[in-house]
A = this chain, B = another copy of it.
């Protein structure tokens, strides 16, 4: 814990927004990027928090992200739309598309949007939960940079392709937010830094053979071979073909329906990431209170099942993150000092006053 300090969300939010504005983002873009990054930090998902800020800045510099660019509706029906993100800021595009999705759902009970030509949008769960705050079942999914090999392939043509689905429950939210790969790329990088062997079933080398050496996979990825395995691991013995199917499903919902680029084709010049959003009103299935009660009861019963030897708790999805968020709001976000340093450097570079970080502990 000595390498972390407790920081107030507002400070991180303000700095992030300033950095994005200094890099050409308009106010709305800067605000939503800051919000989504800080939400990740609040929940303890630091890989997708303000530590990403530098990458966004770099992506603007290299032309992958075009700031101050509005997405355009290219097709619209009664309860669905397709957006062309025009290479703009992922969080802003996603936020507009989810708002549109919610409009459809308010009018029709259900709404969907598929988006092409966008950029990294942060944590998938943020957008699903935004629907659920309004009482809807929320869906948010995105393709990503190509990192994952299909079952029996050695070429990383798929992304880690997260799927987020959330349900409104009494007093809480069920939020499943899962990469469709066994692990995210960040996990390989951590093992690489520690020179640690990966367990069997995480990744393959340039020939598609299992490897325990993270360096081998990370190197192979540079020449667009090898990669991370889908959820379920290698072959079909542990259901790897299922993870592969979920990942391909994400490509179809995002790039397929929006007529955009699938993961293999992303980041060749521009980002060209694709998203998909959904909102479903539980009240199309019955009295809202009764349906919510039914959903809540099931989750409550499942987490009350008999614990395995040595386990102290069975969680529902989103529970850990919601607890962490509460804690972070009360006591400050537990940010590691390396990220704090990175943020200070960004402030200096863009001539923003360094925040007076207070350790809230």
- Mark contacts of A135-171 with chain B using CB atoms, 8 A cut-off: 1 yes-contact digit, 0 otherwise: 0000000000000011111110110000001010000
A209-232 interface with B by 8 A CB criterion: 209, 225, 231-232
Asked whether B285 lies within 8 Å of A255 as measured between CB atoms, the reply is: no
Chain B residue at minimum C-beta to C-beta distance from A257? B285
A75 lies within 8 A of chain B by Cβ = yes
Asked whether B239 lies within 8 Å of A178 as measured between CB atoms, the reply is: yes
User: Which stretch, A188-196, A288-296, A333-341, touches the partner chain B?
Assistant: A288-296
Nearest chain B CB to A294 CB, angstrom units? 4
A243 lies within 8 A of chain B by Cβ = yes
A96 lies within 8 A of chain B by Cβ = no
Asked whether B285 lies within 8 Å of A153 as measured between CB atoms, the reply is: no
CA of A251 to CA of B301 in the docked complex: distance in angstroms?
12
A24 lies within 8 A of chain B by Cβ = no
Contacts of A60 in B (CB 8 A): none
Asked whether A208 lies within 8 Å of B311 as measured between CB atoms, the reply is: yes
A313 lies within 8 A of chain B by Cβ = yes
Chain B residue at minimum C-beta to C-beta distance from A209? B309
A271 lies within 8 A of chain B by Cβ = no
Chain B residue at minimum C-beta to C-beta distance from A290? B259
User: Which stretch, A8-16, A108-116, A322-330, A348-356, touches the partner chain B?
Assistant: A108-116
User: Which stretch, A29-37, A51-59, A78-86, touches the partner chain B?
Assistant: A78-86
Asked whether B242 lies within 8 Å of A231 as measured between CB atoms, the reply is: yes
A106 lies within 8 A of chain B by Cβ = no
CA of A2 to CA of B315 in the docked complex: distance in angstroms?
50
CA of A252 to CA of B158 in the docked complex: distance in angstroms?
28
Contacts of A152 in B (CB 8 A): 307-308, 311, 313-315
Pick from B77, B182, B252: contact of A109, CB under 8 Å: B77
Contacts of A174 in B (CB 8 A): 248, 252
Provided the pairs A248-B302, A291-B256, A307-B153 are in contact, do residues A284 and B158 lie with their beta carbons within 8 angstroms? no
Provided the pairs A183-B239, A286-B82 are in contact, do residues A157 and B262 lie with their beta carbons within 8 angstroms? no
Asked whether B150 lies within 8 Å of A305 as measured between CB atoms, the reply is: yes
Chain B residue at minimum C-beta to C-beta distance from A239? B231
Contacts of A7 in B (CB 8 A): none
Contacts of A290 in B (CB 8 A): 259
Chain B residue at minimum C-beta to C-beta distance from A232? B231
Contacts of A264 in B (CB 8 A): 301, 305
Nearest chain B CB to A176 CB, angstrom units? 4
19 A-B pairs with CB atoms under 8 Å apart are: A78-B108, A78-B284, A82-B285, A153-B308, A157-B305, A174-B248, A176-B245, A178-B239, A207-B309, A208-B308, A231-B231, A231-B239, A239-B243, A248-B302, A252-B295, A257-B285, A258-B294, A259-B286, A264-B301
Seed contacts A151-B314, A182-B232; 10 additional CB < 8 Å A-B pairs: A77-B285, A78-B108, A112-B285, A150-B305, A153-B308, A176-B242, A179-B239, A207-B308, A231-B242, A264-B305
